Structure 1
Amino acid sequence: MAKTGVASTYNPREIEPRWQRVWEEQDAFRTDEESDKPKFYCLEMFPYPSGRLHMGHMRVYSIGDVIARFKRMNGYRVLHPMGWDAFGLPAENAAIKYGAQPAKWTYENIAYMKRQQKSLGVSYDWSREVTTCSPDYYKFTQWMFLLFYERGLAYRKKAPVNWCPECNTVLANEQVENGRCWRCDAEVTKKELEQWFLRITDYAERLLADLDKLEGWPERVKVMQKNWIGKSEGANIAFAVPELGETITVFTTRPDTLFGVTYLVLAPEHPLVERLIAGKETETAVRAFVERMKKTRDFERTAADAEKEGLFTGSYAVHPLTGERVPIWVANYVLMDYGTGAVMGVPAHDQRDFQFAKKYNLPIRVVIQPADGQRLDADRLTEAYVDDGVLVNSGAFDGMPNRQAIRAIAEHLKEKGLGGPAVSYRLRDWLISRQRYWGAPIPIVYCDDCGIVPVPKEQLPVLLPDDVIIDGKRNPLTTSESFVNTTCPRCGKPAKRETDTMDTFICSSWYFFRYCDPRNDRVPFDPEKVNRWMPVDEYIGGIEHAILHLLYARFFTKVLYDAGLVNVDEPFARLLTQGMVLKDGAKMSKSKGNVVSPDEIIEKYGADTGRLFILFAAPPERDLEWSDSGVEGCFRFLSRVWRLVDQHLDLFADRRPAQPKDPAAKALHRQLHQTIKKVTEDIDKRYQFNTAISAIMELVNAISAYPDGADRGTLAEAIEKTIVLLSPFAPHIAEELWHRIGHADSVHAQPWPKWDEAALVADEVEIVVQVNGKVRDRVVVPANASREEIEAAVLAQEKVKAHLAGKTVKKVIVVPGKLVNLVVG
């Protein structure tokens, strides 16, 4: 190879900061709003400013940056923003622990993490940065709350809530994991409080049905959301309670078993329990049971292996179809926030009911017999019969197949005004009240004369006060008299502000709209600008957000769509959920002592090496095992690319056009175009960055092996295109090398290379030659050679002749383009 002398050394610590400064000075990644290019909105989930980036951040940002850079080079106007999900309890905990104000702690962390992000070389448009704890953002989070309130989707009620005694705040059901707080891991208890809710259940069916639109989402995420929404089809059944003049409504998926009901069970929290036990002998015992259940975690009450406990209330309901008196019990395994908080006990055909009935000696009545003629006897049952069959002891429905009876009995109840077909959802309304300081204040005022009064939008934001006491023992906002005491916006009389703040998931449920118009001070966004960019074309983040954040963001989008503010009803067209970064087989964590910091990697090897490794080591959806040797290998590869370019700068000083006519030039030209096609399709269609990088590595091998006497123009073209192909993955070294070979503009402003289909077709192919199935030689033949020509070329080979000496060729098997097997005897 022609060389220019001793090559310089690859030094990422010198080139990376320099190019980051150049990109910033040139505003290289500012969003193109004006052109008529097709749009591409690339978004990674914005981080909580905890203080330091970890490898999970590095992975998700590297993935997003490859996609954003690739799309720009392919002629798209790209929106690629970044911001901060900046409200939340950790800032408040830091205030308690260190005495630091949450705002100061948060903004210092943001500044540090932003420097880290810039050191990764990610192509963000920082002019669109949003910070959810900034008044210019949470002003519109409050605006969103008022929109929901105006549309009847925000309401306040007293309810038993999940209470974290350590965080001193309410948790949504989704934020309770195995009975513990998702943030601090403290045991969660129940507490009755006036709380604000959003009616997400009004959208349950649309949230479920529209999952079918999301063809670009991983199937497992859609399944997780379907299961969380939890649609059940069945019937509502009304059981009258004459002594109270009330009705207990039960939802069941098995109305076919209605004639098998021998008792009803209410959740201990059911509002009728107090009235049912009033004046009864059971009153004291049931009340004590109810209090004990309030302190017992839901998952303990409902676990499959949990002991079923209950007490008779002393009251009865009336069976809607038989008129029979049905005893009413309370039990631990019924929850108020599922269904109606009441279930009908059918012990012959439900295993849980069977266990309960056996424990408390309650009647068991068989109403479904197997279709095969086997006869079940209630006294001899050892477990509930839950399979299909035909109805017995069911009045006019006797003899009917039970599946048919599900609909028939539901319709019969509807005709009689005693219930009817119904759908129930596991999904509950979204509890958004939090007894915290560091969150968006709920813009509501309480007036003795006017009641609940929303703060007018022109008076937003309701600002967080500074004169609060943050000690972890109370809601900090209640300690600020200047905040609590206000005037009613309607009548002007003294009033009190709402002291709860909003769940931080509210902030992240609409931020992707704000990025489209981040400096608007009148409204959250200009619908015209949002409609130019939405939906997000590629959304990237962890699988841990599959239920909470994604479901809430979808809900918000549908409400904004119904309000006529946006023209999309789903926010994210495609979703990429990247796997975790592991070390020694476990998720990186300080407690395990297996943390590798992005700062360490950047300092030692450079950002490009870290990015390349994290993209090369595993497909994006798979967990990635950290490997120090793998990182070193990626650094060596980049160093090799550096040397390869540096040693051939003469090619670009006297650039000749490619003329791939000699065999070596033809082979390199073909491999170059194969690589362009492979890398393009792996990024664009499959997001298989690891195989794309592997193809570039193979191309570099081929360039390194290129003989000195072959066409120099072809070599120059291959080196130049390699730099372009590498640029989305390792942007700094690609930019440096691009300029070193003589270009004045940015490599990231280049059009993406196109492959030539004609170049992909090989002129010649290598054929494996076998004798009796064993490889004996290889022969190169024209790619379009006929069977006869291939056979003749094989038989002319000296090595083949030697193996055939004294033998008879009985059969010649030709697999065109691959092999020839000579069967001899």
Structure 2
Amino acid sequence: MRAYQAKEIEAKWQRVWEEKGVHRTDPDAGKTKFYTLEQFPYPSGEGMHMGHVRVYSIGDVIARFKRMNGYRVLHPMGVDAFGLPAENAAIKRGVNPRDWTLSNMKKFREEQERLGISYDWDRYVATCLPDYYRFTQWLFLLFYERGLAYRKKAPVNWCPDCATVLANEQVENGRCWRCDAEVTKKELEQWFLKITDYADRLLEGLDRLPRWPERVKTMQRNWIGRSEGAKVTFTLPELSDEPVTVFTTRPDTLYGVTYLVLAPEHPLVERLIAGKEKEGELRAFIERMRKESEIQRTAADAEKVGMDTGAVARHPLTGEEVPVWIANYVLMDYGTGAVMGVPAHDERDFQFAKKYGLPIRRVIRPRDGELEEPLAEAYTGEGVLVDSGPFDGMDNREAIRAISEHLAEKGLGGPAVTYRLRDWLISRQRYWGCPIPIVYCDKCGTVPVPKEELPVLLPEDVVFDGKRNPLTTSESFVRTTCPSCGGPARRETDTMDTFIDSSWYFFRYADPKNDRLPFDPERIREWLPVDEYIGGIEHAVLHLLYSRFFTKVLYDAGLVHVDEPFTSLLTQGMVLRDGAKMSKSKGNTVSPLEIIERYGADTARLFILFAAPPERDLEWSDSGVEGCYRFLGRVFRTVMRHEELFRNRPEARPEKGPARDLHRRVHRTIKKVTEDVGERYHFNTAISAIMELFNAIGEYPKDADRGTLADALETGVILLAPFAPHLAEELWHAMGHASSVHEQSWPSYDPAMLVEEEVEMAVQINGRVRDRLVVPAEADRETVEQLALSQERIKSLLSGKTVRKVIVVPKKLVNIVAN
């Protein structure tokens, strides 16, 4: 008998599948569609890691299972190929990012093909190729036409030595990652998309996604951060009563304000500190705060630090003047960039006031008592207003509405809703991204490039020296002609955030060869929404939120019929080794290619699916891989040992004895695998059931019915096919079949075969198993008890003892209590 040669088998069938186009999307539009999609990868020079193997294997099992169940399946793949890593590699190696990326793309696809994933490669898309980014630009112009793309000044990280803008990930401890120069903040004109216009719809849509993990929806709700409250307008006497507006969710505490805090970046700060005695110290503090990241400034355990500007603000209802401070925990990008300090009723304000000796004024007391003086901590509970002017004695919940309405009547604010979500800054000052299709003309101003002139191509004559945005070095790119007046103009040299590319790629897969439009709406109607979207929890917020935003804009534009792109979301866990996430820095990585070379792709796939449920983290186990390899080898040998059986196959006769037992086992396994894969995605327990089936086949008596054995082997191979597709194909053909195993219908089970006729029960004496008993499955307690006590071995062991009690656990055990 020939040995199981995984590499040879896998190479053979991958070649056959490609030649025959086995994985091309079924053209039969009469079938029910199923669109399964794994998040496409960034093609780094390091190739695949085990996390990739896991997500692709999960998606492939679902795709193959659905095909075998009669669905018309769309299962595409591509690459998210623009971005900073390729540009950094280009600078480091002195190559063009395109050449680096195309080389990696080729390598990545070859590795994916070696896994045997059933992708329709005819639908492959790469976001860095002009036939794709032409339509990324087309969609940008659609946003621009709809008033959803705009340009304004925004602060960026600036390296003075490199004379370039740095992404947040390029700033390390406040210094440039490349030259170690101190990074500063600089105001630059930047492009934004108005995602805030869709904040409420993005929130509401989450309630219509029952097949999304609840924690993902919670993360998105928190990111959008909708808060109801009031806007309150204070004034600044020394700036001629210039208004400064704060947002608060607790207008009921307005009479407890004892100070105001502005973000260091607030536009009024410069005027407030000019000429002050501590102007130099204040400027140094502001500069220090600007260098800190948002996370550093707002983390729960971060120290709250501030400085008094020396200015005051006038309270809108009492006229009282309160000091104006600047502090690290207030950000210009959240709310209005100003907050009111109510230390008696906000824990953060309380700590800040205690630290800097600011007044603490209580304005709410508990309904059933008074607060101790002085306060040991902020009182954040509900109660009754005190020292609050005309609102004294009012329940604080009622006061929220009453004070908000009072502010509105006085023209000093009023009820308001605010969001944590901010408009999406999409400008990136780098070469390797999708060019923004805008030109600037001294005569016409900001002018969009006509859609018929797209794509705006990335130029070749650029300098990658790490000293500036490479696009600014290309005269052929920067200098152009105004599409409106024909006069001289200059191109926008910012490129788009790569999240733009991944916010619509799932639409392109439905119509990847369209050279007139991003996609034909009819093709979208045919395939969208995605039925199962599979990817990492790390993309739970930004990628998924941006994709939902894009979909809603395209829906409003009449280009798509859905306003939510992904019906079901599966977020797989990480692959760990020695309890930690695999990473080169930890030295605990496992190369997928090494595993494939040594054991085969089917083993890699089977282990990664068997070791843990998809949503759980998976601990890598070398012995677990070995075990899966041994199991596949055993399946191979079992089928090949009976190869002759299929050449002259007898009719199955599973009426009695071992044949009946194996026949029942087959039907129970079909039910288990069908439900675990089709309903729960419990691939690990499905594989376990298949393993048990092959164990039963291995123990099947040589003199038992051979037709039943042949049926069991065929069914076992079909059930194994989604998990180990190459081995299953090899064995299916060894059984004499001409067609592919992956073209077979998924087996169905006979409910009558699931009913047990007999069960084996353990017989215990005082809790220790002493014998086993086979009884009719429907036997009552009295019958089971009598049968257990009549067993010869049990009678012998009970000799001379008194039976005190007999406990029967139906279909499991009998415990005889005796002394």
| Bin of the TM-score, shorter chain as denominator length | over 0.9
1:10 deviation in Å? 0.8
Aligned partner of 1:601 in structure 2 is 595
Indicate how the Cα distance of structure 1 residues 804 and 358 shifts in structure 2: closer, same or farther if over 3 A, else same. Answer: closer
Of 145, 151, 155, the match for 2:150? 155
Deviates further, 55-64 or 276-285: 276-285
Aligned partner of 2:755 in structure 1 is 761
Of 601, 622, 625, the match for 2:616? 622
8 A Cα contact 1:735 1:746, kept in partner:
yes
Cα distance in 2, alignment partners of residues 818 and 301 from structure 1: 60
Q: Gaps (5+ residues) in structure 1?
A: 1-6
8 A Cα contact 2:510 2:524, kept in partner:
yes
1:789 deviation in Å? 4.0
What amino acid is the match of 1:116? E
Q: Does 1:81 align with 2:76?
A: yes
Aligned partner of 1:53 in structure 2 is 48
Cα RMSD of the aligned pairs, angstroms, is 2.5
Q: Map of 1:58-69 to 2, 5 A cutoff?
A: 58-69=53-64
8 A Cα contact 1:767 1:817, kept in partner:
yes
Cα distance in 2, alignment partners of residues 330 and 114 from structure 1: 53
3-state SS in 2 of match to 1:592: coil
Indicate how the Cα distance of structure 1 residues 171 and 533 shifts in structure 2: closer, same or farther if over 3 A, else same. Answer: farther
Q: Map of 1:386-425 to 2, 5 A cutoff?
A: 386-425=380-419
Query: Deviation per CA, 1:407-462, whole angstroms, max 9, x where unpaired?
Result: 22112212222212222211111111001100000011001111111111111100
What amino acid is the match of 2:342? V
1:685 deviation in Å? 1.3
Aligned partner of 1:212 in structure 2 is 207
Of 694, 699, 704, the match for 1:705? 699
1:192 deviation in Å? 1.3
8 A Cα contact 1:179 1:299, kept in partner:
no
Deviates further, 707-716 or 265-274: 265-274
Aligned partner of 2:545 in structure 1 is 551
Aligned partner of 2:97 in structure 1 is 102
1:534 deviation in Å? 1.0
3-state SS in 2 of match to 1:458: helix
Aligned partner of 2:325 in structure 1 is 329
8 A Cα contact 2:34 2:71, kept in partner:
yes
3-state SS in 2 of match to 1:591: coil
Q: Does 1:347 align with 2:340?
A: no
Aligned partner of 2:353 in structure 1 is 357
8 A Cα contact 1:662 1:711, kept in partner:
no
Indicate how the Cα distance of structure 1 residues 733 and 296 shifts in structure 2: closer, same or farther if over 3 A, else same. Answer: closer
1:775 deviation in Å? 3.3
8 A Cα contact 1:174 1:548, kept in partner:
no
1:592 deviation in Å? 2.5
Aligned partner of 2:191 in structure 1 is 196
Indicate how the Cα distance of structure 1 residues 538 and 181 shifts in structure 2: closer, same or farther if over 3 A, else same. Answer: farther
1:767 deviation in Å? 3.0
1:148 deviation in Å? 1.0
What amino acid is the match of 1:270? H
Indicate how the Cα distance of structure 1 residues 303 and 731 shifts in structure 2: closer, same or farther if over 3 A, else same. Answer: closer
Aligned partner of 1:439 in structure 2 is 433
Aligned partner of 1:229 in structure 2 is 224
Cα distance in 1, alignment partners of residues 164 and 504 from structure 2: 23
Cα distance in 1, alignment partners of residues 301 and 766 from structure 2: 64
Indicate how the Cα distance of structure 1 residues 783 and 364 shifts in structure 2: closer, same or farther if over 3 A, else same. Answer: closer
Aligned partner of 1:143 in structure 2 is 138
3-state SS in 2 of match to 1:29: coil
Cα distance in 2, alignment partners of residues 554 and 178 from structure 1: 34
Q: Gaps (5+ residues) in structure 2?
A: none
Cα distance in 2, alignment partners of residues 780 and 183 from structure 1: 75
8 A Cα contact 2:164 2:467, kept in partner:
no
Q: Once the two structures are aligned, what percentage of the paired residues are identical?
A: 74
What amino acid is the match of 1:508? S
Of 498, 510, 513, the match for 1:516? 510
8 A Cα contact 2:174 2:291, kept in partner:
no
3-state SS in 2 of match to 1:658: coil
Q: Does 1:647 align with 2:641?
A: yes
Q: Does 1:692 align with 2:692?
A: no
Indicate how the Cα distance of structure 1 residues 33 and 673 shifts in structure 2: closer, same or farther if over 3 A, else same. Answer: same
Cα distance in 2, alignment partners of residues 357 and 769 from structure 1: 72
Aligned partner of 1:272 in structure 2 is 268
Cα distance in 2, alignment partners of residues 385 and 610 from structure 1: 57
What amino acid is the match of 1:372? D
Aligned partner of 2:488 in structure 1 is 494
1:161 deviation in Å? 2.8
Indicate how the Cα distance of structure 1 residues 327 and 719 shifts in structure 2: closer, same or farther if over 3 A, else same. Answer: same
Q: What's the TM-score once normalised by structure 2's chain length? A: 0.95
Aligned partner of 2:737 in structure 1 is 743
What amino acid is the match of 1:261? V
Deviates further, 94-103 or 280-289: 280-289
Indicate how the Cα distance of structure 1 residues 794 and 182 shifts in structure 2: closer, same or farther if over 3 A, else same. Answer: farther
Query: Deviation per CA, 1:345-374, whole angstroms, max 9, x where unpaired?
Result: 222222333344344443332212233323
Cα distance in 2, alignment partners of residues 728 and 374 from structure 1: 68
Cα distance in 2, alignment partners of residues 783 and 797 from structure 1: 18
Aligned partner of 1:715 in structure 2 is 709
1:246 deviation in Å? 2.9
8 A Cα contact 1:257 1:367, kept in partner:
yes
Cα distance in 1, alignment partners of residues 488 and 101 from structure 2: 34
3-state SS in 1 of match to 2:570: strand
Cα distance in 2, alignment partners of residues 628 and 554 from structure 1: 40
1:53 deviation in Å? 1.1
3-state SS in 1 of match to 2:502: helix
Cα distance in 2, alignment partners of residues 184 and 249 from structure 1: 41
3-state SS in 2 of match to 1:16: helix
Cα distance in 2, alignment partners of residues 241 and 550 from structure 1: 42
Indicate how the Cα distance of structure 1 residues 162 and 562 shifts in structure 2: closer, same or farther if over 3 A, else same. Answer: farther
8 A Cα contact 1:13 1:606, kept in partner:
yes
8 A Cα contact 1:188 1:297, kept in partner:
no
Provide the aligned length of Structure 1 versus Structure 2: 817
1:218 deviation in Å? 1.5
What amino acid is the match of 1:364? I
Q: What's the TM-score once normalised by structure 1's chain length? A: 0.94
3-state SS in 2 of match to 1:775: strand
1:180 deviation in Å? 9.2
1:807 deviation in Å? 5.4
